[in-house]
Amino acid sequence: MWAGEIVFIQIAGMASERLVPVREIRAVAGEGLEGDRYFKKTGTYSNKPGGGRQVTLIELESVEALKRDLDIDLNPAETRRNIVTRGVPLNHMVGQQFRLGREVVLQGIRLCEPCDYLESLTLRGVNKALLHRGGLRADIVSGGTIRIGDSVTPV
């Protein structure tokens, strides 16, 4: 059994805008994180069909490994993921439900593999470096407020 925590929360109001950190945010079931580009349907991929655009997560360990192993210094906000976790095996959460804090339940939909768009906004080599460790796309099953420091646990 594992237990992790939320170390960063960040949103952007529009596509391509820099993500800004927040200490807490309201997660709305079936919609996304209040104020985020995908909640407002203004994200780059908002018009693409399919689930998994309500919340994106990435492991802090993946970001740290980029620096340690490949000398790629990527700030967690530059990953373009909403929630940065520590101690959470995100790749194993595809098809699984997990809890953020006391109220919010997410459903892991698919891996959040890096794309050319991410690399165009960050550094050359990020796509290859984050392959299979770029995070998780999830949908919100049960809403509520999440905060930095909240636990992340399996349901």
Which residues are CB-contacts of 15 (< 8 A; sequence separation ≥ 6)?
37, 42, 43, 44, 46
116 band by pLDDT with thresholds 50, 70 and 90 = low
pLDDT score of 113: 79
97-114 per-position pLDDT tens digit? 999 999 999 999 999 877
Q: Quick one: DSSP state of residue 82?
A: S
Q: Quick one: DSSP state of residue 17?
A: P
29 band by pLDDT with thresholds 50, 70 and 90 = very high
pTM equals 0.91
| Domain extent listing, the chain | 4-154
Token pair of 56 as six digits: 């994106």
Torsion angle in degrees (nearest 10) through CA of 76, 31, 34, 144: -90
- Residue owning tokens 């391509």: 16
Fold of 4-154: M1 Pyruvate Kinase; Domain 3 (2.40.33)
Task: List residues bridging with 145 in a β-sheet.
Answer: 26
Burial of 34 (0-12, 13-18, 19+ CB in 10 A): middle
Q: Interior CA angle at 80 toward 78 and 82, to 5°?
A: 120
- Residue owning tokens 């299979």: 132
Report the candidate in 107, 152, 147 with the shortest Cα–Cα distance to residue 3.
152
